[in-house]
Amino acid sequence: DPPEKRVPRPPVITVMGHVDHGKTSLLDAIRKTNVTSREAGGITQHIGAYKVNYQGKQIVFLDTPGHEAFTAMRARGAQVTDVAILVVAADDGVMPQTIEAINHAKAAKVPIIVAINKIDRPGANPDHVKQQLAEHELIPEDWGGDTIMVPVSAHQKTGISDLLEMILLVAEMQELKANPNLPAHGTIIEAQLDKGRGPVATVLVQRGTLHIGDTIIAGTSYGKVRAMINDRGEKVKKALPSTPVEVLGLNDVPAAGDILDSTDEKTARGVAEKRIAKKKEEEIKLNSKVSLDDLFQRIKEGEIKELNIVVKADVQGTIEALKASLEKIKNDEVKVAVVHAGVGAITESDVMLASAANALIIGFNVRPDANARKAAETEKVDVRTYRVIYDALNDVEAAIKGMLA
Ligand code: GTP
Ligand code: NA
Ligand code: MG
């Protein structure tokens, strides 16, 4: 992407700050719309993305959720942004998520403009907010520092144009440019499964141009762009750098923060399949207790040094025989240990014990009862039942050697 092919692009601004300090209201005031009244419970659930025009110049805004549960998503919000607007309520002051937001912006090396909001409130104290922010190395310009702080009221729509002018000023100093004549590259801002339309992803195009018909890959999802809708709900045929669009046509729902690239179909499918396989491997490691099917792989990776087994059988004699034979099975990497053995059907308590010990269950001439079956499913405990002792021994041996049929 040679620099001479790059052309100016609009700045991308992320609005951050503590819950209820007025991020969405401020954006409403900027857009002169009313998004907050449509939000369930007044808490922003997704990162909304909007393009606005101010004095003939475009600015893209990302609204990030203020709730603590969305910290991870907000952290990603700072990665795609050119300028962070830190919203601090003048009556509430600096709060835990204000500090988090400062840290995210600093980590992303993104300049911060502070919007001191709710200055219409009776308890508003902008000077106190400045004092608090100075403790976090944000020194206001009027105190000799270099952080722009603009007092605003989203409700009374005061200070809004000052804020927009400051945004343009800071953005212009960055000389933001991108080459539109490249395959599209961007970031998934949010995504969901729509009943009628399938996976719908809000994409911020950052480089290149995204067109209808382009093959795209985002995380483990891929597909052909079937339709694109801009932030005003209009269908569009292409999206240039710094444009947020809803994209239809992915085969699955990507995750917020996933990188999107436009490529050929074969590459997209190949890369997606590789990522899916990798993800599955990681999921198995994270979620599942030991099972005969993935045993060898996990032994190879040094994750399992001892195969724990719970043995249940119909008669005591069988248990003794099974236990002795099982504990003789070993190879260089792993040995077998029977952590519990008993006569009778496989019960829920056997499953819970196996789950705690990361063991699999071998039943000989017995079966799990209904509660045990249910528990095995939720606890992801591998339950194997046999009628022939040698079948049980052969399976365990084969699993350890990576030769299970
Ligand atoms: P989350 O997305 O949930 O983190 O909240 P938010 O930061 O987007 O805040 P939101 O815009 O939802 O506003 C929170 C509350 O503060 C609402 O009741 C708003 O009406 C109120 N509010 C926002 N801005 C102002 C303002 O300038 N003045 C006054 N008085 N109230 C405001
Ligand atoms: Na809110
Ligand atoms: Mg909000």
Give the residues surrounding ligand 1 with Cβ less than 6 Å away.
Answer: 17, 19-25, 36, 42-44, 65-67, 117-118, 120-121, 153-155
Two structure tokens written together for 74:
């907000």
Q: What are the pLDDT digits (tens) for 324-362?
A: 889 888 777 788 988 888 889 999 888 888 887 788 999
CA nearest neighbour of 23 among 1, 45, 56: 45
Number of H helices, E strands in the chain: 11, 21
Q: Residue 377 in 3-state DSSP?
A: helix
Stated as kind and residue range, the H or E segment containing 96 is: helix 96-107
CA nearest neighbour of 151 among 26, 261, 255, 33: 26
Could you give the strand order of the β-sheet that contains 335-343, starting from the edge strand earlier in sequence?
A: 335-343, 306-313, 359-364, 383-386
In the prediction, which pLDDT does 194 show?
Answer: 86
Q: What mean pLDDT is reported for the chain?
A: 87
Give residues with Cβ within 8 angstroms of 324, minimum separation 6. Answer: none
Stated as kind and residue range, the H or E segment containing 218 is: strand 215-218
Strand partners, 228: 236, 247
Q: What is the mean pLDDT of residues 249-260?
A: 88
Distance 236 CA to ligand 3 centre (A): 27
Annotated binding site: 17-24, 63-67, 117-120
Annotated binding site for GTP: 17-24, 63-67, 117-120
Distance between CA atoms of residues 342 and 315, nearest Å: 9
DSSP H helical ranges for 301-364: 316-326, 348-356
87 pLDDT exceeds 70? yes
Distance 138 CA to ligand 1 centre (A): 23
Tokens 């004092």 identify what position? 131
Distance 127 CA to ligand 3 centre (A): 24
Q: What are the pLDDT digits (tens) for 28-74?
A: 899 876 555 555 455 554 447 888 889 889 999 987 654 443 444 54
Give residues with Cβ within 8 angstroms of 172, minimum separation 6. Answer: none
Tokens 């405990």 identify what position? 381
Are 177 and 6 in contact by the 8 Å Cβ rule? The answer is yes
93 pLDDT exceeds 60? yes
Are 11 and 60 in contact by the 8 Å Cβ rule? The answer is yes
In the prediction, which pLDDT does 65 show?
Answer: 57
Q: What is the DSSP string of 224-266?
A: EEEEEE-TTS-EESEE-TTEEEEEEEESS---TT-EEEE--HH
Model confidence band, residue 121 (pLDDT cutoffs 50, 70, 90): very high
CA nearest neighbour of 240 among 314, 181, 323, 302: 181
Locate the ligand 1 atom nearest the alpha carbon of residue 39 and give its number: 12
Instruction: Quote the ipTM score.
Output: 0.99
Tokens 């922003």 identify what position? 44
Distance between CA atoms of residues 34 and 269, nearest Å: 40
Q: What are phi and psi of 281, to 5 degrees?
A: -60, -45
Sign of CA dihedral 367, 370, 373, 379: negative
Model confidence band, residue 133 (pLDDT cutoffs 50, 70, 90): very high
Q: Residue 17 in 3-state DSSP?
A: strand
Tokens 């509660």 identify what position? 371
Instruction: Output the residue whose Cα is nearest ligand 1's atom 22.
Output: 22
